[in-house]
Amino acid sequence: GQQLNQSPQSMFIQEGEDVSMNCTSSSIFNTWLWYKQDPGEGPVLLIALYKAGELTSNGRLTAQFGITRKDSFLNISASIPSDVGIYFCAGRTGTASKLTFGTGTRLQVTL
């Protein structure tokens, strides 16, 4: 099945640093979602974006829906150890339709 290109594939950062990751697609989506997955768990929704150009924050997390509808980015400010995990973007064409997931960004935070 189709997957979205997500970069970087992995990141090793120090506590307190800011993080940026992005997701690109060859096709248009109407909704972009960002999830975090901890080992052995299901993904948890972080931010949902519904309009092209939309910029949304959730605490230290900020995400934007690209103006072309083919990309999105996620920023994490002042990273902390509990930010460790795998971050996935996901795109959707309409409500109740299936999600297409990105390849994931593995984040490691060192003290």
Which positions touch another protein (CB under 8 A)?
Answer: 1, 3, 31, 33, 35, 40-45, 48, 50, 88, 92, 95-96, 98-104
Residue whose CB is less far from another protein, 14 or 39: 39
Residue whose CB is less far from another protein, 14 or 26: 26
- The whole-angstrom separation of Cα 55 and Cα 63 is 6
Cβ 88 to another protein shortest distance, Å = 6
Residue whose CB is less far from another protein, 1 or 14: 1
- The whole-angstrom separation of Cα 42 and Cα 56 is 23
Cβ 98 to another protein shortest distance, Å = 6
Cβ 80 to another protein shortest distance, Å = 22
Residue whose CB is less far from another protein, 44 or 80: 44
- The whole-angstrom separation of Cα 63 and Cα 103 is 17
Would you put residue 12 in left (φ > 0), alpha (ψ -120 to 50) or beta?
Answer: beta
